[in-house]
Amino acid sequence: MAKHGDRLIDRIVHRNVMRRWRRLADSAAGLDLASLRRFRTQALALRRNLDRLIHVAEHRLALPVIGSNAIRKPMGSDWAWRPMLWNGPIAVSGQSSVQNKAMICDGTTVFHDCRHSELTVRQVRNTRETDLAPFGLRMDVFRFDGSFLSLVLELPDAAVDGLRLTHLIQLDAIVEMETPLEIFARLNIKHGPNVEQVVRELPLTEDEVKVEFDLAYTKLNEKRAERIWIDLIFEGPEMNQIIMRDLTLSRRPRAEL
């Protein structure tokens, strides 16, 4: 009730303030110079604060909403997901000299075999009008003396529930980089003691970066599927900055022929 009362008082005060400045604007041409100078000083002080508020509001309202579930997903999808790293703020937004098996956030881990790590990772806020994901991931790689660098994403249990050999799993991404490199996505599905793996190269030269994993070409035991994860493998990452503005995964039944 108090909040409702506060809002009512705010509306009344706002109407009175608007009425005052409207009356002053209408009568400005007939005011004496001393009064006009006084009101101009007040108006300029008010405008400075209004401009500050408008600037911050326009910037924040133009950003993708934190926690937004807006995902471009193929027609017929029965599951779609954006990992936490791209969806909301993480506890530690940046790390330097990232070590092997370093967890960036829950469900996202970096793997490499460098003896001396010169890798930094940072969660960045997306600001472009075209961005649906609130956040992106920036990786800066300097000297790289290892043989592999990968980012491992654990998929939630919902990705496994009802999984069938007739399913297609699609990965969509928005990737920026300083110099060209190859990125491979490896889908891993654990079923019982076995792990099915399907590898696809991301088509980074195309406008839409997406790959599909067709489970019909695997030996998946549908009844024993228990865990899915994705390895993003970066080939030749030395002296490069890689920004992944968005990454989403979706699942849909393959169209029957």
> Could you read off the pLDDT of 204-256 as tens digits, one per residue?
988 779 999 999 999 999 999 999 999 999 999 999 999 999 999 999 998 76
Q: Kindly state whether residue 43 falls inside one of the protein's structural domains.
A: no
Q: Kindly state whether residue 42 falls inside one of the protein's structural domains.
A: no
CATH number at residue 148: 2.60.120.260
pTM for this entry: 0.76
- A 10 A CB-CB count for 213 gives 24
Residues paired with 177 in a beta bridge: 242
Which residues constitute the domain of residue 183?
A: 79-253
User: Which residue matches tokens 């990452």?
Assistant: 237
What 8-state DSSP symbol labels residue 192?
A: T
**Mean pLDDT, residues 175-195:** 95
User: Which residue matches tokens 């003896």?
Assistant: 115
Say if residue 140's pLDDT is above 60: yes
Say if residue 162's pLDDT is above 90: yes
Q: What is the number of structural domains in the chain?
A: 1
Say if residue 83's pLDDT is above 50: yes
Q: Kindly state whether residue 60 falls inside one of the protein's structural domains.
A: no
Q: Kindly state whether residue 3 falls inside one of the protein's structural domains.
A: no
Residue range 2-14, pLDDT digits in tens:
565 678 888 888 8
Q: Kindly state whether residue 108 falls inside one of the protein's structural domains.
A: yes
Q: Kindly state whether residue 13 falls inside one of the protein's structural domains.
A: no
For the chain, give the mean pLDDT.
90
Q: Kindly state whether residue 25 falls inside one of the protein's structural domains.
A: no
Q: Kindly state whether residue 61 falls inside one of the protein's structural domains.
A: no
Say if residue 55's pLDDT is above 70: no
* pLDDT for the residue numbered 1: 45
C-alpha 171/C-alpha 168 separation (Å) is 10
